[in-house]
Amino acid sequence: MNQYIVLRVVSRLLIPVILIFALYVQFHGEYSPGGGFQAGIMFTAAFVVYSLLFGLEEVQRAFPPVAAHVLSAGGALLYIAVGYATMLLGGNFLEYKVLLPNDQAGETFGIIVIELGVGITVAAVALSLYYSFAGRFVDREAGD
C-alpha cells in the first residue's frame, strides 16, 4: 500500500478520530445508543484499518497480541469483580445501587464500569481474532 499516499495520509488523520469516537460511545453508552460492544468494535476497526495500510507487523508493534490476550481476560475479570463487589456489599450480583451511598450514583458508576469491562473484552477479542486470521494469510504468503 506504499503507492497510495493519499489513503495513508487520510488514515493517519482519521484513525485518531475513530478512536476518540469509540471512547465517546464507550462512556455515553448508558445515555445514548452504544456502549461497550459497539465501542470495542470501533476501537478494533481503527487498528484493522491501520494494519491494512501499514501492515500487520506495524500494528502488532503498537498493540502486541499478548496484550490483546491479557486484556481479553482483564475486561471479563472487571465485569465479574463488579458483580462480586455488589454481593460483598450486601446486594445481589450486579445490583449497582449498593456500590455508592447514593443509589443513582451507584447505578451510574456500576454501569460505566461494566460497560468498560465489556468494551475492553470485545476490543481485545476482536483484535485477537483479526491477528489470528491475518497472521494465517501472512504465513501462507511466506510459504509456511
Helix-strand-coil split of the chain, %, nearest 5: 80, 0, 20
Residue with cell 461497550: 36
Rounded-to-integer distance, Cα 42 and Cα 49, Å: 11
Contact (Cβ atoms closer than 8 angstroms) between residue 87 and residue 93: yes
Residue 1 has which C-alpha cell?
Answer: 500500500
Residue 92: the pLDDT is 95
Spans of all domains in the chain: 5-142
Contact (Cβ atoms closer than 8 angstroms) between residue 75 and residue 119: yes
Rounded-to-integer distance, Cα 110 and Cα 69, Å: 24
100: which DSSP letter?
Answer: S
Q: How far is CA 134 from CA 23, 55, 79, 117, 119, in A?
A: 25, 10, 29, 25, 22
Residue 105: the pLDDT is 92
pTM equals 0.86
- Reading the chain (144 residues) residue by residue, the pLDDT tens digits are 667 889 889 999 999 999 999 999 998 877 777 789 999 999 999 999 999 999 999 999 999 999 999 999 999 999 999 999 999 999 999 999 999 999 899 998 999 999 999 999 999 999 999 999 998 765 555 555
132, containing H or E segment: helix 103-142
Contact (Cβ atoms closer than 8 angstroms) between residue 34 and residue 119: no
Residue 140: the pLDDT is 54
